[in-house]
Amino acid sequence: MGKFSPNLSTLYQMSEEHVIIIGNGISGITLARHVRKLSSKRITVVSNESNHFFSRTALMYIYMGHMKFEHTKPYEDWFWDKNKIELVNGKVIAVNTNHKCVILENSDELKYDKLVIATGSKPNKFGWPGENLKGVQGLYHLQDLESLEKTAQNNEVCKRAVIIGGGLIGIELAEMLTSRNIPVTFLVRETSFWNHVLPLQESEMLNNHIANNNIDLRLGANLKEIKGGENGSVKSIVIKETDEEIPCNLVGLTAGVSPNVAFIESTDIETNKGVLVSRFLETNIPDVFAIGDCAELRNSKEGRSNIEAMWHTGRIMGETLAQTICGQKVEYEPGHWFNSAKFLKIEYQTYGWVSAVPIGTHQHFQWKNPNEDKCITLEYNKDTLEFIGINTFGIRMRHDIFDTWLTEKRDVNYVIHNLPKANFDPEFYQRYENDILAKYNKQLSTLNT
């Protein structure tokens, strides 16, 4: 962020409008930074998770010993005072929209002119017996990492862990635990890992990769109950389909997340699964907004979910709302879909839309290296040849290139012949580009011009 203009301190003292942001994740902090860039408003960020903003996606690397907590903070601790962004460490337990104030757990009240709810998500629970036992936890907040460190210090303290749910957080937790030689059993209700999201070829590749990393992957398996020992800690889980009981010291609940909005459900702020907002991120209450994982759009863009618990959409929401709060009303535009993750040793990226099974006029082109965990899937319209999206595994691609191609509505022929322009890893194309083109030409020869 740039330096303040010479008179900003004076303007700040004159400004009476107070913006309170509940939550110091990527959406809330992006908003605070951009409001400060655009105005002299008083800004207060309230959070009970940590004193300062940190990268939540880096939690796994702290546990694995690759980073320390201070390395996950993008800004030095002095940044907030210098930029006149007030930080309050506290838990908001209530919001009074009539008196325009938030009430903290210690009974303090903070008055606001504009209120932004950016409280993120919480791990899903589905009423399983024993889900509140000691040693049962999710992996979302800093406190989850601290609990994990106590329960699963090493394979002497934790003899076995069981992970429930086959999403991205689940595979992260599996990698974390195996890095400390803790045996892991992974219960996934789908018949193939993440096959409701990924095409079958990719899903099956991940099945093999997970198993090859000494993880006990149980497909088509659901949790029946979690059993506790005499001290109130978890001692085992029971699989619903077989009644098999698996002894364990840790149960990771990673069956998705849901908006963290319980503290406002008794207010006049309308909620469904999340805080209901317009395309301008406004709630039904004047001067109250919501962004990030906890926000639920009343009318989302066609083809997009009303709730998108994603880092990059949270950042875009923060940037957008800052303009509205500072007097230039702007509608939220999520941009093209993008996500990235790591499945143990395999890096994954997706740009645009790649469905598990193409429907209608959509079709897939797929290439997989027979000897390595590297593959790509392109989705396109077989009638118009318009490029719809791409998944890449074991390959690094450039976000800006695919974002441009999707905006320009490039055809699949153009994309496949220009893939080298998008790559971060020239060695990949030196070794495999001819293979990809040969398979493409064979599969789509009747469509090529």
Per residue in 313-361, pLDDT (tens digit) is: 999 999 999 999 999 999 999 999 999 999 999 999 999 999 999 999 9
Tokens encoding 33: 């930074």
For the domain 338-444, what is the CATH code? 3.30.390.30
End-to-end CA distance of the chain: 48
Pairing of strands 101-104, 92-96: antiparallel
The most distant pair of C-alpha atoms in the chain lies apart, rounded to whole Å, by 71
H-helix or E-strand spanning residue 42: strand 42-47
Of 438, 437, 408, the C-alpha closest to 420 is 437
Fold annotation for 8-122+258-325: FAD/NAD(P)-binding domain (3.50.50)
Q: Is residue 7's pLDDT more than 60?
A: no
State the pLDDT at residue 15.
Answer: 55
Q: Give CATH 3.30.390.30 domain extents, the chain.
A: 338-444
Interval 145-192: pLDDT, tens: 999 999 999 999 999 999 999 889 999 999 999 999 999 999 999 999
Please provide residue 423's backbone torsions phi and psi, each rounded to the nearest 5 degrees. Answer: -85, 150
Using DSSP, state whether 414 is helix, strand or coil: helix
Of 261, 264, 294, 259, the C-alpha closest to 277 is 294
Interval 15-30: pLDDT, tens: 579 999 999 999 999 9
Contact (Cβ atoms closer than 8 angstroms) between residue 55 and residue 170: no
Looking at every residue in the chain, the average pLDDT score rounds to 92
DSSP string, 363-395: EEEEEE-SSSS-EEEEEEETTT-BEEEEEEES-
Q: Is residue 435's pLDDT more than 90?
A: no
Contact (Cβ atoms closer than 8 angstroms) between residue 24 and residue 47: yes
Length reported for the chain: 449
State the pLDDT at residue 446.
Answer: 52
Of 79, 80, 78, 56, the C-alpha closest to 69 is 56
Interval 46-78: pLDDT, tens: 999 999 999 988 999 999 999 999 999 999 999
Q: Give CATH 3.50.50.60 domain extents, the chain.
A: 8-122+258-325, 136-255
Pairing of strands 136-137, 250-253: parallel
> What's the rounded Cα separation, in Å, for the pair 387 and 417?
12
Q: Is residue 384's pLDDT more than 80?
A: yes
Fold annotation for 136-255: FAD/NAD(P)-binding domain (3.50.50)
